[in-house]
A and B are shown apart, each in its own frame.
Chain A
Amino acid sequence: MKDLLLYLLPIVILFIGGFTLMLVDAFQKEEGGLAVPTAMLHFAAAAAALALWPYAGNAADLARAQVAFNGWLAFDRTTLFLDITIALGGGLTTLLAGSYLAEHKLERGEFYTLITFASAGCMMLAGATDLIMLFIGLETLSLGVYALTGFRRTSARSQEGALKYFLLGSFAAALLLYGSALLYGMTGHTDLAGIRDALGRAVEMPAIAGQEGAAQFVAVQQTVRDRVTILAMVLVVAGLAFKVGSVPFHMWTPDAYEGAPTPATAYMAVTVKAAAFGAMLRVLIGVFGDTSGPASLAGGWPGLLVWLAVLSMLIGNLVALAQSSVKRMLAYSSIAHGGYILAAFVVAPRAESLAGGGGSVGQSAAAAVLFYLLAYTVSNVGAFGALILAGSRGKEAVSYEDLAGLGKRHPAVALALSFFVLSLAGMPPTVGFFAKYNVIRSAIEAGYPWLALAVVINSAIGVYYYLRVMVKMYMHDPQPGAVRAEPMSSPGISLTLIATAGMVLALGMMPQRFYGYALEAVKLAAAPIAAAPADAPPANAN
């Protein structure tokens, strides 16, 4: 039992670290200096997750852990992979924030505490195998991120974005909660394994068996359960789709992304997405993944998700074309990237389900999701970091015009921004190419050629607005008389960008290796859920 507590290490590091940061912030005389410790905390959490990786390969241990934690959290490699992604994204954005906040006179200790607790919430959400845990994780991360969005207190934009995000986010949380309540009402379980098993069985009512009309009554109950389960599934998906900002739940995204201080935008874009997609992976594939079984009624979700995926890609990309602000363009492009990831989701349950032993096609699609999240994290943090570097206190670089002529004036900054934007666009040899390649390949393997085509066409649209950034920087001159955004000189950001670029290249040069890790991560994901006893533990049984 005691050794199992070690599995909590990544989350515990962040929580204890967050409290320590609060105390340091309260007692220190001057603001500042917390960025590097916060980043170190995140990297320590990533290291802990990495150290746990070999131990999470044993199905028996995972089942033991599952029982010991009452089925609340899974400590399989899927969780660890997502934990590493989240910690990496959080740590890198914190390093960016250190220079950004100092430059823009926003340096306040709360930023780091909020980011640390939000990361812990992300990890809880990514590992949750119980609807209650899932909700707690979601709220822990959301409250932190709402506050980060409104961090520029003097800016009306920032306040507007935060309020919108908060109101719509509360609404989405309510949808998720309502769906969870319905699932609990239909099955008597809040743990995902219990829900899946209960839905897999037909409705039985031994108490009235044998009475006149009992069979008819049970048949009606079965119909009601099936229908309500669909409703519950739709509500849960809507709640999670909001968090990843997929169309039609994307309305908050551009305003929140534009209003938030840029490091917070980068943070929102990468970690929240990783956590929410992780939760989606567990709920949709873990519970409703068996599209051929008796629970197949709710297994109609791929048909629902395919619309979300295609609409997110299309609307995200088309609206991104029309933006004049690069920050807003990146917000819409993040919606489109969410669409690419959702496309892999649609593919995943085809053939066999993950939970039922795992078809190889389903596994490669789920691995494509994880790989994409990692690739998106490094590319996007880099792109936002380069955008931060291109501006300074006098004028932040936000619009395309601010970037005009940057290639001549400051070639290093322009080169960095170009590099990360190319990775987002999906150009080889950067990692963005292989992330998309995996999605497209698994779509074709699973027999969804038109979905693969949709991804390809949308990537082509995306290339246009990503290249526009480079065209502005290298081929246009700034308009005479305009206030120029001068790049800030910050060794911290430069170092972070170099490290991030290294990761983008390393992932791009050795995609098979990292894709292999992702594949390993999803292979055992099925084990703990399947190995959990159907009606134990007693605390969770109704």
Chain B
Amino acid sequence: MQLVPTLIQALTAVDTAGSLSLRYQYGPIFAMLGFALVVAGAVFSLATFLGPKNPTPEKLIPYESGSPTTGAKHVRLSVKFYLTALLFVVFDIEAVFLYPWAALYQSLGWQGFVEMFVFLAALSIALIYCWKKGALEWET
């Protein structure tokens, strides 16, 4: 497997035409990447080495000026939140699919209509199922 050397060769090959090389196609991206790494690294290392450090207990708490935290850090959340969020995602995606379909409704014709109908029918059955199984009830 000589993938890496080949890629390096492809990116650094100097040929007579110059402008045809991959180096010129992807060069700016790699230059940008390198620049970003250098700048970010420089900022962080300068702050680490040059900045004054006088830690006090107040400075080390998460919210320096907030009210003191009370109770346990990990609150147990009801699984109902998860279920509701999941159902929301499913039907949200459905709505997202409807937009491009509506925009292209004329050109898709009957085939598009039938396909979307099948899709909506499947989701309606899922909704009925969730409803009957009590997934939409908060108090149980």
Name A's B-contacting residues (CB within 8 A): 19, 22-23, 25-27, 208, 211-214, 216-217, 220-221, 223-224, 227-228, 230-231
Asked if A23 meets B128 with Cβ closer than 8 Å, knowing A224-B10, A228-B3, the reply is: yes
Which chain B residue has the least Cβ–Cβ distance from A218? B20
- Having A227-B1, A227-B2, one finds 14 other A-B pairs with CB under 8 Å, namely A19-B125, A22-B126, A25-B129, A26-B128, A26-B133, A212-B17, A217-B21, A220-B13, A221-B10, A224-B7, A227-B6, A227-B7, A231-B1, A231-B3
Verify B22–A22 contact, CB threshold 8 A: no
Asked if A227 meets B20 with Cβ closer than 8 Å, knowing A26-B129, A213-B15, A217-B15, the reply is: no
Which of A23, A220, A230 is in CB contact (< 8 Å) with B9? A220
- CB-defined contacts of B21 to chain A, threshold 8 Å: 217
Asked if A212 meets B16 with Cβ closer than 8 Å, knowing A22-B129, A223-B10, A224-B6, the reply is: yes
- Cβ contacts B1-33/A at 8 Å (1 or 0 each): 111001101100101111011100000000000
Asked if A223 meets B6 with Cβ closer than 8 Å, knowing A22-B125, A26-B128, A213-B20, the reply is: yes
For chain B, the count of residues having a C-beta within 8 Å of the partner chain is 23
Verify B15–A23 contact, CB threshold 8 A: no
- CB-defined contacts of B13 to chain A, threshold 8 Å: 216, 220
- CB-defined contacts of A223 to chain B, threshold 8 Å: 6, 10
- CB-defined contacts of B125 to chain A, threshold 8 Å: 19, 22-23
Which chain A residue has the least Cβ–Cβ distance from B2? A227
Verify A220–B122 contact, CB threshold 8 A: no
Which chain B residue has the least Cβ–Cβ distance from A28? B132
Summarize A's interface: helix, strand, loop or mixed.
helix
Shortest beta-carbon distance from A232 to chain B in Å? 11
Shortest beta-carbon distance from B26 to chain A in Å? 12
Shortest beta-carbon distance from B30 to chain A in Å? 16
Verify B20–A217 contact, CB threshold 8 A: yes
Verify B132–A26 contact, CB threshold 8 A: yes
- CB-defined contacts of B133 to chain A, threshold 8 Å: 26
A212 to B19, CA, bound (A): 10
Which of A22, A27, A227 is in CB contact (< 8 Å) with B3? A227
- CB-defined contacts of A231 to chain B, threshold 8 Å: 1, 3
- CB-defined contacts of A19 to chain B, threshold 8 Å: 122, 125
Residues of B97-140 whose CB lies within 8 A of A: 122, 125-126, 128-129, 131-133
Which chain A residue has the least Cβ–Cβ distance from B3? A227
Shortest beta-carbon distance from A13 to chain B in Å? 15
